[in-house]
Structure formats: C-alpha cells, structure tokens
Structure 1
C-alpha cells in the first residue's frame, strides 16, 4: 500500500515527543535556580558524576531530571583522584564568570573535560546536532539508526571549510566531544503512570544517542573515541548512531514536526549559550507537548518560565526583555511564529501568547 505524504509533511521532519518534553530541563544551565550542585556518587552498580535539576511544583513541565555520566572502568585510586579534583570545582565562578573560569584549577584534562561535558550538556549547539540527526533519520528511513559524515554535519552547523576542504581541528575536536557527551550522559527522569485508582511512576534512564560505529578514512590513523573526547583533538570521519528516544512517528504518533530548513548554523565568535533562538524554539516545541494549543495555534506561557528556560536570569530586566523580544522577532522572521504579545496575568506575572505557524512547527499526539 502506498501512503500519500502531504506537501507539508514532505517539508518537515518529526522529533519524538518524550524527548522534547524533557529537553529544556535536561539541558538546564548551571545558572538555573532549580539546578543542584554536581555530585560524585558511588553505588553497587558503579561510580557516577551527576547533576540534578529539581522539580518546580508550580508548573507541570518543570520536571526533575538527573543527568549523569557513568564512570566506567574506574579504579579505587582514580576514584580518590577524581574526588580530590572535584574539590577544585568553583561553581560560583562557573555561574559568574563562565564555566572555563570555574574549571581552571582542575589540572587533569580528562577530568576537566568530564565536568565541562556535564555542565554544558545539551547546550544549543548540541541541540542543533540532535535536530540534524532527527532530520537525517527522517530522510534515511532506517528507524533510530542514523549514518552521517562528520564534515556534512559541520557544514550544516554553518562552519566554514579550510582551504583543503576540511574543517579546523578545534571544530572537529568540539564535535567529537559533543557526540561523546550525548552518547555517554544518561538522563534519569520519572513519568507518572495511572494504574487503576493509583498513580505510580516509571523511572526512565536514556541517553540522547548511542554511538554504534565510526569510520576512519585514512586507515593508519589510530583513533579511540573516548580517548579523543577526553584528551585529544580528533574526530572520526563518519559515525553511525542510534537515537535512544526514537519511537518512530508511525508507531506512537507522539511527535513534533519541524521545518526541514530549520536554522542550525552557529554564529561565529559567539558562545553556544547565547543562542536564544534555538532555546526558544525548543522550549516552545516542548510546551506544545505539555499544553494544548488554543484554537490550534495559540500557546500561552508564563513570562517567568520563559525567561528561566532561556537563561535570562539576571536582575537586568530591561536587557532580558530586549533579548527576549529580539529572539521572538527572529522566530517571526523565520516563519515559526505568526505573532506574539504580552498578556497581563495574576499577581503581576505576565504571560506571553504565541501564535505558532503550523506549517513550520506542529505537534501530533
């Protein structure tokens, strides 16, 4: 049987609803008021480095999520060394002056990169990588398994090739570290389940993706995936990954459609954390799974939660408002939003009403 594909669906790709529901919380920054300090934890199953964003009971979408890195093949001596290095982590500096500043007292490169990966997990650049992989999954039609060449992904991220047709080693190194972070960082979260008259909870543990295979074009080159992420500046030439949240739109019907031409380009010279456009786009997609759109296209969100999830956390309200409305204008220019306006709310807490363009962003459930 041939299934007809509508023109709008041919111009879009699906991203799993469950992933979008946890994505903003899973990628909460160190400045988020719900974010707890990183901890080192050991249990009978092994050692973990983890951070937890606690529930904000005022809004059902503000769920608790733990992101953790299993520390595999760690000797007791290495565990003690890690605990010693942990004491040198300056989280206040991470928040006030930047994560690199907060990690500068940690001399061991592997441990420093481990903390960096956890503290910056699911930043907008990594979210752009996830969107790229879901778009590839839709095009390749091989379920959760996605094959891609590293240079194609770097090009989609808007980076410029060098004269020899490749990419700068710094960009290649960063991409491998991003991929390994998405591979080995686990998300732990609970989902409510109704069983008869009782409400229980199912605990889910998933990575965003798992790297299944990688290819090196020049065979003599020695390449170790994790070692490269921890110590060196290398990148494999191609990867096959499995998208762990992938259920397939045909099986569950729980997904959000994104436009194929979604902008993934990284702005040169700017930090990924200042990519407010990607943050707002993903947050709106997430809220479309938590809330029902009014009249099929209107979404009303508390300004307080918008600002918290966009990392507009400082006391400079004028600056925060300026950044927010500039970001809204960017999404309007790209066609995701048809309009947005501020609505007065209770207790002086404003809401923002967004008019979503269903041709560019549409939820199914």
Structure 2
C-alpha cells in the first residue's frame, strides 16, 4: 500500500498540517523539524500527490503563455524573463496560436477549465470587449502587443515613439528619401500600425510627405526583406535609407542590397527593430530599436502574480523604455 501523508506525520511525531507546511517550504516550520520530517519522507518513500493537492486548493501553479508564432526570436528574451519571474513557484507553459482565433480560444480553454491559473497573450486575435469580459473572470495579461480599448494588464513599449526615433535618426543626417518595410495590410497587430505612424510623424516634422511608393507592405519573413529591396531598386529614385519594422526584414534588405552591389552603411542606410541576436552577428551589424524583452517578461509575470493574489486588479498599460542601438548598417 502507498504511504500517505498521515503515515508520515505519525512516524515523524508531528501533525499532518506540519508535514504539509514542510512540503510547501513554509517558513513557519523550524529547520530541525523540517529536517526530521524530510528524513522520514525519504525513509518511507513518500511521494505527495501534487495534482490532487492542486485541485483541492484550485491552483495548478501553471501560467499559460500563448505566442502568435515561434518563428520570431524576439520572443525568446521575453519568455526567459517570464520563466525567471515565475520560478520557483510557477511554471510557464508555452503554446502557439499561429495567429488563428480558433486555436487561441481552444488554448484558452486551459484557463476556463482551471488547467492553468492565468494566461499571458503575446499577441492576440481577440477583440478588446472579449478581453475585457475574460479579464473579469480570469487572470490574463497582454505582453508586447497592445490591444486598443482593452482594459487589462499590458506590458509593452511605445512603438510609435520608437519608430519615430529611428526615422528621425536618418532625417538628422540629411536623408530625405526614406523607405519603410512594414507588415501593414498583412496583420492586425497594432505594433505595425504604430510603427508606421511613427515613420509618418517623423517625416512630417521635417516637412516631408510620406509617399506610398516608398512603403513596401509584406509579412515578417526574411525573404520579404529581399523582395522589398528589389522593389525599391525598381523605383526611379531609390531610398537613401530604409526603416524596417523587424530585424529579419532588415537582414533581407541588406542581403539583397549587397547582391546588387550597394554598400550598406554608406550608399544605403538600414535600421531594423527588436535587436535580436542576429542583428549583432550580421555583417554589417544591423542598427536597430531594442525592446527590453527580458524586462517585459519579468514585469508581466510579477504584475500578473500580484493580480492573482489581490482582490483589486492592476489593469494598467505599463510602457517600458526602448533604445536605438547603432551598428554598421547606419553608423
């Protein structure tokens, strides 16, 4: 017969509650008592039924993180920050929606049936009203991507201001023909919309009207960056600088530019976004907008845990700082 917690308590000469506290690493038990109980647990080969215990207290100690895609390495730092903030009391369970609403809702059933205690969405197809309704019943948060009108805990950066800073860098050097490579029209992500708005605002401040011919709309793929450069080369006047809303797109632009014999960093300047590891390893290094991914991940979990253990939810949008990282593609 299997050993029960009552058997351990009897053998150790303590109460069942004391054994439970030892199993939960409670500070309410002295070191001597904890050592004695742990020795009995080891000798008797007791294995606590964590699943049953979690069901009884209606907690799983699991937090679901739903990614829209696994192809974007920008999420790696965010996830690392989430895991560090959750350790050692919670585990982060990762899943991917592929930006499909049906898949996202199916994954959220883990929250509805209490398989997880909370969920973080790193990009969502859900509308603001749906998110607000869910937030009344469950512990959820947004990270990286904001949703207009969603009154739930959100940790992000100011994408509009970040893009503005990047484009203004080109303008201050006297560049007047600046291309934009964006996913606008291919995604509903507000980060893309905001970054285009920052591009337009920077040009406007310098008396330059944004021209559609200098805007290339595509997806996030590296190959789209290559196609964007081919398109810009087909224009009567090629851009003097190109702002890309991701580093992968910037890498594609640079690769194609070199194939066409264009010196990146002198004849053409390029700036990306995200500061993924590739941007530093690429030749030339890619000038980019750095998001504080690790800090975003830590922040969203810390604030979410506070919400989980509080009667009043923090539904703020927390905006962390971005910074320009200057490398060879735009010295």
Shorter chain as normaliser: what TM range? under 0.3
Using the size of structure 1 for normalisation, the TM-score is 0.22
- Whichever structure has more strand as a proportion of its residues is 1
1 or 2 for the larger relative contact order (CA 8 Å, sep ≥6)? Answer: 1
Question: Which of 1 and 2 has greater Rg?
Answer: 2
Q: TM-score, normalised by structure 2?
A: 0.23
The structure whose residues are more often helix, as a share, is 2
